[in-house]
Amino acid sequence: MFAQKGYTGLSMRQLAQKVGISVAAIYHHFPDKQSLYLEATRHAFSGKELVFAQVWEADCAPAEKLKKFILALITVITQDTDFCRLMQREIMEADSERMQLLVQGVFKNQFLLLLQLAEQLAPNRDAFLVATSIVGLVKIYVDHKPLNRHFPGWRPDYEQPEVIAAHVTDLLLNGLVIK
């Protein structure tokens, strides 16, 4: 419901009615809407952490780990449209306090691991910019997928996560310059 209506668009009364309990029952378990929201987001992300754990625990070179991370990110984003919509809403609303809570309570550990990978891959570059660029490239491709298929030159295999992961990995590791 948060993904559909957004944090500000969903009232506790609407939520209680939808799940068939009283507002008081919700407040018995959560002190406020923000706590409920953070726990719901944490719960929605918890299954996704397992996908990323396999990446971080893989015994492979940093370049291969990058490809595995990108493939995992594509998979997570494309398989859970509600979670993706929820994050898009949060970014658009840009409530600083909720952003901080989401980072601290949900995404921080994954981002720290991505920063470490960025440092291994590009020790002479800003790890934060590298890490956010990795996420950004994947996210923009997935977000534009419905539009991309209408551009000249598009092929059906451009929607396969493995193809996109290989392309984005190559682009990040080798850039645009052909040697």
pLDDT for residue 128: 96
Confidence (pTM)? 0.80
Considering the four listed CATH numbers 3.40.30.10, 2.60.120.10, 1.10.357.10, 3.40.50.720, the one that applies to the domain covering 46-174 is 1.10.357.10
Distance of CA 138 to the CA centre of its chain: 9
Going residue by residue through the chain, which has 179 residues, state the pLDDT in tens, using 9 for 90 and above. 777 777 778 788 888 888 888 888 888 888 888 888 878 777 777 777 788 889 999 999 999 999 999 999 998 888 877 777 777 877 787 778 878 877 887 788 899 999 999 999 999 999 999 999 999 999 888 889 899 999 999 999 998 999 999 999 999 999 877 66
| CA–CA separation, 118 and 120 (whole Å) | 5
